[in-house]
């Protein structure tokens, strides 16, 4: 049993996808008019207006199970697991639908819920990725469900659609990292194999906080392909001296070409050269990519600053 946490802005896109799949089966719903897809979307949307300041009111969690457990996963049992999962994750007092899909070898269902609850309050997502992992393990142990064998043992040929593409990207990245240890070569090799990279900036700054990989029509955040492929973890592997040497060469070239420019434009050109190193592109990603570790570090920094201020006050 594996849960994947997703958040978004569009109930229309999410609900249409979940209910639009062939053989999709609505197992359960609460708080929505379930006469048709449009009615469900409108129900979610109307309640989200109770909390207009919440940017991402769409909660979407696919729950996937091992093929070995397929014979046990009747609609009733899958629904029972989904309801227990939601209760443990504190997804309560809100609208939801639970939909079963049969388009892959692995039995799975989709939970779509409103992060604006029935009282207009926000359902907390604090540490949700880590709580998700813990709850899935508890349910697997409770019901003796099969533990996964890991990505390396997955038969990619049996997968279909986006899931197959994601595993192809995973194996390509893993193989490339064994051969190349700098960003320029890494990106070049992936491009030769049909995979492009896009980066996500922090606000209007030049600071990169996220990465995604695209192959064909499918795009995935690095951490969704594998936790080891988040931008911060990849950067620690690929940000070596060869990259710095390349950056210095590019900076020198631009400095020579900008003799007649003022210092401000020279600095801007150098920054452009560094950006060109990794072909940075704006990336409109509708999903959350905030790691628990970063949140904890930010909270620790805040505590230290508060202590420091208290000390000055004395």
Residue 5 has a pLDDT of: 94
Q: Quickly state the pLDDT bin for 149 (edges 50, 70, 90).
A: low
Q: Give the CATH number for residue 135.
A: 3.30.930.30
DSSP state of 31: S
Residues 164 and 124 grouped into a single domain:
no
For residues 98 and 219, state if they share a domain: no
Residue 311 lies in a domain: no
160 in the same domain as 139: no
pLDDT higher than threshold 80 for residue 12: yes
pLDDT attached to residue 306 = 60
- Residues of the domain holding 209: 156-289
**Whether residue 229 is found in the same domain as residue 282:** yes
Number of domains in the chain: 2
According to the model, what pLDDT value does residue 133 have? 93
pLDDT in tens, 219-231: 999 999 998 999 9
pLDDT of residue 227: 85
206 CB neighbour count, 10 Å cutoff: 11
Contacts of 164 (CB under 8 A, 6+ apart): 156
Q: Is it the case that residue 89 has pLDDT exceeding 50? A: yes
Neighbour-count burial for 135-171, b at 16+ CB within 10 Å, e otherwise = bbeebbeeeebeebeeeeebeeeebeeebbbbbbbbe
Res. 266: pLDDT tops 80? no
pLDDT level of residue 22 (50, 70, 90 thresholds): confident
Distance between CA atoms of 1 and 78, rounded to whole angstroms?
11
Rounded to 10 degrees, the C-alpha dihedral 98/289/88/131 comes to 150
| 108 membership: H or E segment, kind and range | strand 108-114
Most confident of 80-84, 221-225, 255-259: 80-84
| Residue 299 falls inside a structural domain | no
């Amino acid at each position: 049993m594996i849960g994947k946490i997703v958040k978004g802005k569009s109930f229309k896109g999410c609900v249409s996808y979940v209910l639009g799949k062939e053989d999709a089966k609505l197992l359960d719903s609460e708080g929505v008019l379930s006469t048709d897809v449009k009615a469900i979307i409108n129900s979610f949307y109307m309640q989200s207006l109770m909390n207009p300041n919440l940017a991402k009111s769409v909660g979407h969690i696919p729950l996937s199970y091992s093929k070995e457990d397929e014979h046990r996963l009747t609609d009733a049992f899958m629904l029972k697991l989904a309801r227990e999962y939601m209760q443990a994750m504190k997804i309560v007092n809100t609208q939801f639908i639970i939909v079963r899909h049969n388009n892959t070898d692995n039995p799975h269902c989709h939970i779509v819920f409103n992060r604006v609850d029935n009282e207009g309050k926000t359902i907390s997502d604090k540490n949700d990725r880590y709580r998700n992992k813990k709850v899935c393990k508890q349910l697997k142990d409770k019901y003796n469900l099969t533990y996964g064998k890991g990505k390396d043992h997955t038969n990619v040929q049996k997968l279909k659609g986006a899931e197959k593409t994601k595993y192809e990207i995973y194996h390509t990245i893993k193989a490339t990292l064994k051969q190349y240890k700098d960003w320029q070569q890494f990106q070049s090799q992936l491009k030769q194999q049909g995979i492009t990279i896009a980066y996500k900036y922090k606000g209007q700054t030049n600071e990169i906080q996220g990465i995604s990989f695209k192959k064909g029509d499918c795009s995935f955040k690095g951490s969704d392909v594998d936790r080891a492929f988040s931008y911060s973890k990849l950067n620690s592997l690929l940000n070596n001296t060869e990259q710095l040497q390349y950056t210095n060469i590019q900076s020198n070239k631009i400095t020579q070409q900008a003799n007649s420019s003022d210092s401000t434009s020279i600095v801007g050109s150098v920054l452009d050269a560094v950006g060109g190193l990794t072909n940075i592109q704006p990336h409109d990603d509708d999903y959350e990519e905030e790691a628990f570790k970063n949140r904890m570090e930010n909270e620790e920094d805040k505590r230290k600053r508060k202590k420091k201020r208290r000390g000055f006050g004395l």
